[in-house]
Structure 1
Amino acid sequence: MRTAYGVETVRAAERALMARLPEGTLMQRAAAGLATACAQLLGRVYGSRVVLLVGSGDNGGDALHAGARLARRGAGVTAVLLSPGRAHPGGLAALRRAGGTVADPGAGERLIERADLVVDGIVGIGGKGGLRAEAVPLARAAARSRAAVVAVDLPSGVDADTGEVRGAALRADLTVTFGTHKPGLLIDPAREYAGPVRLVDIGLGAELPADPELEALQHAEVAALLPEPAAESDKYRRGVVGIAAGSARYPGAAVLAVAGALRGGAGAVRYVGPAGDAVIARFPETLVSDRGPKRAGRVQAWVVGPGAGDDAGTVAEVLAAEVPVLVDADGLRLADAGAVRARTAPTLMTPHAGEAAALLGVSREEVEGARLAAVRELAGRYGAAVLLKGSSTLVAPAGGAGTVRVNPTGTPWLATAGSGDVLSGLAGSLLAAGLSAVDAGSAGAYLHGLAGRFAAQGAPVGARDVAEAVPRAWRDVRAGALGPGGTG
């Protein structure tokens, strides 16, 4: 499992650890890991040209000490000092002793154009807002150049705590972070600037609290959540999920939600709605009813909303049920907020950014630019767990406080009509099988993303293809968890 902690938590952990270690130990550990990553990216260190972009904080010190290590191996290293009078003195002395040189920002663009590697040590994890004006030309030069760009701890210009990018920021080909991931490295839009992330262990683990700000499940954790039938199981013991979805205009939404539900671990699927003929034609194993949710038969969880049109009555009837409920698509628009907050059984809401924006009364751009804040706000307002779909899908617990989960398995090919309906059915089935709202949302998103990868394999994919790939994803998760270390 990948975990991420906020800036203040990381700083407190660093202070506690530094109090027990000789001065400078943590910076040397970080610099050693950074230098190793840079050397591996370069391939051949001797004779390579390395430019360090150095700000006034400890990230600049890390960059300078790492640059000194590369210079001792034969690299030509030049540090461009954005705040010459405030550069880390120990790091600057180490670089000069190793044969490195120093330049002012005016020479930076020319140096970057000729570089093999650029190390971004401009701003540390406490930076807010975009890059300052003097750093913007250097970031643009790095983007134009052929040099590989390595960010120290996180790319300069992104927000470590929230993943927001509120101005110009530097894009990295690799980010080397220390001690623990920071939330911004796992959440878009900042995640897009980070590239692959390498975590360097500097000994913080014992100083960090048990509950992180953010966590990303991997194969082993998801495998532990997935239901597995026992010898005495029957279809009812495995759970029955009800699907209240579709309309005369959108029968396909019902079919796709049922497709996801049938592959989600519950023992049976009940369908209620006007698309019964389309559902039974595609999935004859479905238990179909046109008598409404109350008279459909017993279920352990409901999914309501995909393709529902304006059927507010069905949405209200499902919300009144005393079983877990997943609300998606039209159901989000039709659901009474008071009825959602009044529920005692678990509720999972699954909006995309546009739906979340409508619920919050803000623009879609605001949601996409501050995804962590948006998912917490929704979970707090509705007293429900919330799965915010998107390039980095987030799952927040009811109320919005506590650890948020981020899904690492998605693919842009999942941005296709009906894909969300499949996810709703899949996660709803996991709810019916006994998972909590957060676990059902997290495991469902993980399997859905993995199925999207398998179905697409670099080419356009349809929602039905994603549903059909869920069993392969399920098997891959199980096999990965059993293998050496798993994957994810």
Structure 2
Amino acid sequence: MRTAYNVETVRAAERELMARLPEGALMQRAAAGLAAACADLLGRVYGRRVVLLVGSGDNGGDALYAGARLARRGAGVAAVLLAPERAHPAGLAALRRAGGRAVGVEGAERLIEQADLLLDGIVGIGGKGGLRPDAARLAEAAERSRAAVVAVDLPSGVDADTGEVRGAAVRADLTVTLGTHKPGLLIDPAREYAGSVRLVDIGLSLPPQAELEALQHADVRRLLPVPGGESDKYRRGVVGIAAGSARYPGAAVLAVYGALRGGAGAVRYVGPAADAVIARFPETLVSDRGPKHAGRVQAWVVGPGAGDDASAVGEVLASEVPVLVDADGLRLADRDAVRARTAPTLMTPHAGEAAALLGVPREEVEGARLASARELAGRYGATVLLKGSTTLVADAGGGAVRVNPTGTAWLATAGSGDVLSGLAGSLLASGLSALDAGSVGAYLHGLAGRFAADGAPVGAHDVAEAVPAAWRDVTDA
């Protein structure tokens, strides 16, 4: 499992380690990792032109020491000092001893234009808000240049803890993060600025409770339900789907499709799209008597394509089994009814739906995804899966938020969320917690999207069809 820690935790771990090491040793470790990453990116170091963008903190010191190492290998290294009087003195001296030079911001854009590699050491993990004007001009010049841009720890101008970008920021091709991932490297919009991310171990001792977790194949494999010799369709779990309407019958079909691929032993469908569902999936158990009379289920999915039918939502929320609420169900669900539930509830909004539930503009949710997911989970006392370019799963009780590492932009297609709802609901019915069902469902859904698209447009039904391939890829790894 990949983990990310907030700035306060990282700072504490750094202080604890520095107290046990000779002075400057930790910065040298960081510089060695940075220089190695830059050398790998350059391929050949000798004769290459490297420009360091250096701020006043330890981040700038890391860049200066890394630049000194590259200079000793024959690179032509120039450091652009944004605050010369506050540049790291020992790092600057090391660079000069190695043959590098230091310049001010005047004329720096010309150097950036000619560089093969730019090392961003402007602002460290404690930076808040966008870059100041001089730094912003350098960031703009870096984006225009042909040089590879490497960020020290994280791109300058992004928020390490939240992933927010509140102004000008550096766009990196590679971020070399030191000691641990920071949440902003895994969450949009900051993730888009980080490029590829390379973790350098500098020996930090970190607590078991992380700020953010990203499941990997091995984690998902451990969580997937596997039938045993004694299993039958009921022991494997039955998921109920209350979805669809005369206007949106396809939503019901796609939710059922996702559920059939999600590991539950049987799927019950309730709603006005029964004819469409049974025609496509004759194995579905169909009822026309409403959720209360549909028969026993271990979990419900309610809301996809439901239109304005609030009765089914109310009946499902009144049940004593885990419930996944999506799409129209989010709009129709009474918050007090959700908070009063004793069984787990998993809500799966996209940014627009989350914004409506929180009473804020959509842009606010998209710009502060981590805070929005946590706020929504707290308000409703539910687990929240916030869909989007970065899918997050937050528990009402706090703890680490899960960030989904799989997916493709081609998943932004009609009906894709309905497939995810059915898939995650099926995992709920098989016995997974709301946090695990949401996380595993998003992981498989994203992986299936990649397999189905393979670089080309894809439909939601293609994604559902590819779930077994994603499941096998996880279990065979």
TM surpasses 0.5: yes
Measure, in 1, the Cα distance between the counterparts of 2:108 and 2:171. Answer: 17
Query: Offset of 1:479 from its aligned partner?
Result: 1.2
Q: Distance in 2 between matches of 1:219 and 1:349?
A: 24
Is the aligned partner of 1:465 residue 2:462? yes
Note the C-alpha offset of 1:137: 1.2
Pick aligned residue for 2:451 from 425, 440, 454: 454
* In 2: Cα distance, 1:328 partner to 1:106 partner: 54
Which residue of structure 1 lines up, in the alignment, with residue 298 of structure 2? 300
Give the whole-Å Cα distance in 1 for the aligned partners of 2:24 and 2:465: 54
Name the counterpart of 1:332: 330
| One-letter identity of the residue aligned with 2:247 | R
Matched to 1:202, the amino acid is I
Quote the Cα distance in structure 1 between the aligned partners of 2:167 and 2:19: 36
> Is 1:271 the counterpart of 2:269 in the alignment?
yes
In 1: Cα distance, 2:262 partner to 2:22 partner: 53
1:250-272 residue CA offsets vs partner (Å, 9 max, x unmatched): 00000000000000000000000
Q: Aligned residue for 1:219?
A: 217
CA distance in 2, matches of 1:86, 1:222: 47
- What value does the CA root-mean-square deviation take over the aligned residues? 0.5
Query: Counterpart of 1:363 in structure 2: which amino acid?
Result: P
SS in 1 for 2:106: helix
Residue matched to 2:69: 69
Q: Which runs of 5+ in 1 are unaligned?
A: 481-488
Q: What is the identity, as a one-letter code, of the residue corresponding to 2:58?
A: D
Identify the residue that residue 248 of structure 1 maps to in structure 2.
246
Q: CA deviation at 1:209?
A: 1.1
- SS of residue in 2 equivalent to 1:105: coil
TM-superposed deviation, 1:132: 0.5
TM-score, length of structure 1 as denominator length: 0.97
How many Å apart are 1:125 and its aligned residue? Answer: 0.2
Amino acid at match of 1:447: L
2:4 aligned with 1:4, yes or no?
yes
- Counterpart CA distance in 2 for 1:154 and 1:304 is 40
Aligned counterpart, 2:60:
60
d(CA) in 2 for partners of 1:63, 1:131: 18
Match of 1:118 in 2: 118
**Alpha-carbon distance between aligned partners in 2 of 1:449 and 1:26, rounded to the nearest angstrom:** 38
**What residue in structure 2 maps to residue 362 of structure 1?**
360
Corresponding letter in the other structure for 1:391? S
Q: Please state if 1:442 is matched with 2:439.
A: yes
Instruction: Give the aligned residue type for 2:237.
Output: G
User: Structure 1 residue 103: deviation in Å?
Assistant: 0.6
Out of 306, 312, 323, the residue aligned to residue 310 of structure 2 is 312
Q: CA deviation at 1:398?
A: 1.9
Corresponding pairs, count = 477
Q: In the TM superposition, what whole-angstrom CA distance separates every residue of 1:58-112 from its partner, at most 9, and x where no partner exists? A: 1100000000000000000000000000000110010000000011001210000
Cα deviation code 1:29-50 (max 9, x no counterpart): 1000000000000011000000
| 1:344-368 deviation digits (Å, cap 9, x = unpaired) | 0000000000000000000000000
2:187 counterpart residue number: 187
Report the 3-state secondary structure (helix = DSSP H, G, I; strand = E; otherwise coil) of the residue aligned with 2:160. coil
Rounded Cα–Cα distance in structure 2 between residues aligned with 1:129 and 1:236: 53
Deviation per CA, 1:246-300: give whole Å up to 9, x if none: 0010000000000000000000000000000000000000000010001100000
CA displacement, residues 112-167 of structure 1 (integer Å, 9 cap, x when unaligned) = 00000000000000000000111111111111110000000000000000000000
Letter of the aligned partner of 1:82 in structure 2?
Answer: L
Could you list the per-position Cα deviations for residues 417-470 of structure 1 after superposition, in whole angstroms to 9, with x for gaps in the alignment? 000000000000000000000000000000000000000000000000000000
Task: Return the alpha-carbon distance in structure 1 between the equivalents of residues 20 and 44 of structure 2.
Answer: 37
Residue 53 of structure 1: how far off its partner (Å)? 0.2
Letter of the 2:314 counterpart:
A
SS in 1 for 2:74: coil
TM-score by length of 2: 1.00
Deviation for aligned residue 1:52 = 0.1
- Distance in 1 between the 2:263 and 2:405 partners? 21
Letter in 2 for 1:169: A
Q: Distance in 2 between matches of 1:102 and 1:16?
A: 32
Equivalent-residue separation in structure 1 for 2:284 and 2:421 (angstroms):
16
What amino acid maps onto 1:387 in structure 2?
Answer: L
Residue in structure 2 matched with residue 34 of structure 1 by the alignment: 34
SS of 1:106's partner is coil
Partner of 2:81: 81
What's 1:289 paired with?
287
In structure 2, how many angstroms separate the alpha carbons of the residues matched to 1:148 and 1:218? Answer: 28
Give the Cα separation in 2 of the matches to 1:81 and 1:347. 52
Q: Specify which of 370, 386, 401 is matched with residue 404 of structure 1.
A: 401
State the distance in 1 between where 2:25 and 2:303 align: 56
Give the Cα–Cα distance (whole angstroms) in 1 for the partners of residues 102 and 16 of structure 2: 33
Measure, in 1, the Cα distance between the counterparts of 2:152 and 2:108.
Answer: 18
Q: Alpha-carbon deviation of 1:397?
A: 0.7
CA distance in structure 2 between the partners assigned to 1:6 and 1:170 by the alignment: 20
Aligned-partner SS, 1:241: strand
Alpha-carbon distance between aligned partners in 2 of 1:108 and 1:433, rounded to the nearest angstrom: 60
Query: For the residues of structure 2 that align with 1:132 and 1:429, how far apart are their CA atoms?
Result: 49
Instruction: Please give the alpha-carbon distance, in whole angstroms, between the structure 1 residues aligned to 2:381 and 2:39.
Output: 49
SS at match of 2:60: helix
Give the distance between the partners of 1:336 and 1:253, measured in 2 at CA. 22
Report deviation, 1:208.
Answer: 1.0
The runs of 5 or more residues in structure 2 that have no matched partner are: none
User: Alignment partner of 1:198: what SS?
Assistant: strand
AA aligned opposite 1:414: L
Alpha-carbon shift at residue 7 of structure 1 (Å): 0.3
State, as a whole percentage, how many aligned pairs show the same letter: 86
2:221 alignment partner, SS class: helix
Is structure 2 residue 145 aligned with structure 1 residue 148?
no
Q: Give the Cα–Cα distance (whole angstroms) in 1 for the partners of residues 27 and 50 of structure 2.
A: 20
